[in-house]
Copies of this chain bind each other. A is one copy, B any other.
Amino acid sequence: MEKVYIAGVGQTPVRENWEKSLKELAGDAALMAIEDAELGYPEGIFIGNMMSGTANKQLQLGALIADWIGAHHKESLSIEAACGSGAAAFRAGLMAVGSGELSSALIIGVEKMTDSPINEITASLVTASDAELEGDFGVSFVALNALLMRRYMYEYGWEARDFSGFSINAHANAVHNPNARFHNKISTADFERAGMVCDPINLLDASPVCDGAAAIFITNSRPNGKHRSVSVAASAAATDTISIQHRANPMQLFAARESARKAYAQAGISPKDIGVFEYHDAFSIMAALALESCGFCEPGQGPRMALEEKIKIDGEIPVATMGGLKARGHPVGATGIYQLVEVTLQLRGEAGATQVQRNRYGMAQNIGGSGSNIFTHILRQE
């Protein structure tokens, strides 16, 4: 596969956005990325989205959005891997450009969740699990994560309050990100007072339902742009059993470990070379498991890393540098692209108040389902 560069990025503020439709949100992010790249329209468009069919009564986002942004007749399609849809679309676009079939592509992640009643969104989210074994029996997505967290606490001896570090870090970083859903710092006391969503997951363990779109413009030639050049050093994906109950060890995100292992090998680096890690902190338990699966700490030590503030901007491994899923927000199908946009900004040195210092390599990991489909990308400063 040929080398692929990131030529442009765009993102809309993550929030409840009732003024814009799904296609308008996607279009806003897309046009920002196109303007940033200064290369005209891309040859192909890849849309990452999970629930437009169920939440917005709209499929065929490829043709819809290509048409809306004026990219007339360009090829376009939509990709879904639950909450991993954004990075899945990025990987598909990367292979299209890396194969030489297209010279450029625009990957757009978009999700518009807040037009629907929350019970319908809960029903849409659980389509990421196995309907026949999980969803049809009434288990919600937060419940699946609560089962994982409870087991983790049992296995490693942590209390629910010990997970506070992830959320505190995410909120602290989000304060500086104008596109983040939340701009409030939180304290340990706030965390301990937070209402229970699904025991042991409280409101500050869980990422919010929201609307947003982000976009990345990629090319197969080095852009002569205004930004420090960033390329894709690694792209890897793996699946796991869709049902947690079928895993030999539910405390290991096998697909996270496997896709990270492949990505490190492709880039020729190890975890210590990563200067920024945008992980998939949809719930605190996922943040802990991601740190462990990607080799940043030993199994069971995720909460300790967060409590010891090793995940802060100037820590061992800065994570959720612009708020993460927890505080930037988690418009599900868009999240993978937000993560990659944020890593790009870090590697360009354009991350503002939460700029990391070691910014040669950055990693983004996007998780679909309860760890069943995971995409890991490493970007490199050229």
Q: Which residues of A line the B interface, CB within 8 A?
A: 1, 21, 23, 44, 50-51, 53-54, 56-64, 66-67, 71-82, 88, 91-92, 95-96, 98-101, 123-124, 127-132, 135-136, 235-243, 246, 254-255, 258, 368-369, 372-373
Contacts and interface: CB of A to CB of B under 8 A. Distances in A.
A81 B63 contact: yes
Task: Identify whether the interface residues of A are mostly helix, strand, loop, or mixed.
Answer: mixed
A372 B80 contact: no
A73 B369 CA distance: 14
A63 B369 contact: yes
**Top 7 A-B residue pairs of the complex, sorted by shortest distance between their CB atoms:** A99-B99, A75-B237, A63-B372, A59-B127, A63-B373, A60-B82, A53-B53
A336 B369 CA distance: 27
Nearest to A24: B132
A45 B100 CA distance: 21
A356 B88 CA distance: 39
24 contacts: A1-B101, A44-B237, A51-B59, A53-B127, A58-B131, A58-B135, A60-B82, A60-B128, A63-B82, A63-B240, A63-B373, A67-B240, A73-B240, A73-B255, A75-B238, A77-B80, A77-B88, A77-B92, A78-B79, A92-B96, A95-B96, A96-B99, A98-B99, A99-B100
Given A62-B368, A92-B95, A95-B101, 5 more contacts: A59-B128, A60-B80, A63-B369, A72-B239, A79-B79
Contacts of A100: 1, 99
A132 B67 CA distance: 14
A239 B81 contact: no
Q: Which of A58, A135, A246 has the most CB of B within 10 A?
A: A58
A75 to B, nearest CB: 4
Contacts of A51: 53, 59
A237 B43 CA distance: 11
